[in-house]
Amino acid sequence: MFSIIVLLLLFVLVIWSVRSKIYINKKRQKDLPEPINSPVSQALTQLLGAAGGIYLSLVMLASFLGIDVPDKALFLQWAIDPLAFFSLVITLLQPLLMRVFQKN
C-alpha cells in the first residue's frame, strides 16, 4: 500500500513539474514566433536534459572527491541508481520552486 502511495505521489510530482515547466516556457515565449514542438514535448525534453546534466555532474563530483556511491539502492521494490534518482528529484523540484518564488 505504501509503495502505491509513493508511486502516485511521484506521478503527481512529475505531472505538476511538467505543467510548471510549460507555464514557465509559455511565459518566456510571448514575443517569440510560434514553436514547432508542443509545450509538453519541450518541457519533457528540458526536464530530461537537465536531469542528465545534473547526473553527469554528480558522477564527476563523486569521482573527483573519491566518494564511494553504491551502484544500486533499493527504493520500494526497485533497484535504482541513487545518483540518477537524486538528479531526477532535483530536476522535478526545480520548476516548482521557480514558479513559487517567481510569483511577485
pLDDT digits (tens, 9 = 90+) for 21-77: 888 877 777 766 665 677 888 888 888 899 999 999 999 999 999 999 888 988 888
Residue 88 has pLDDT above 60, yes or no: yes
Please name the residue ranges forming H helices in the chain: 2-28, 39-65, 82-101
Domain count, the chain: 1
Owning domain of residue 19: 2-29+38-101
Q: Of the ranges 17-21, 32-36, 90-94, which one carries the lowest mean pLDDT score?
A: 32-36
Average pLDDT over residues 69-96: 88
Alpha carbon distance 91, 54 (integer Å): 8
Q: In Å, how far are 37, 52, 91 from 56, measured between CA atoms?
A: 26, 6, 13
Joined grid coordinates for residue 14:
512529475
pLDDT the model gives residue 57: 94
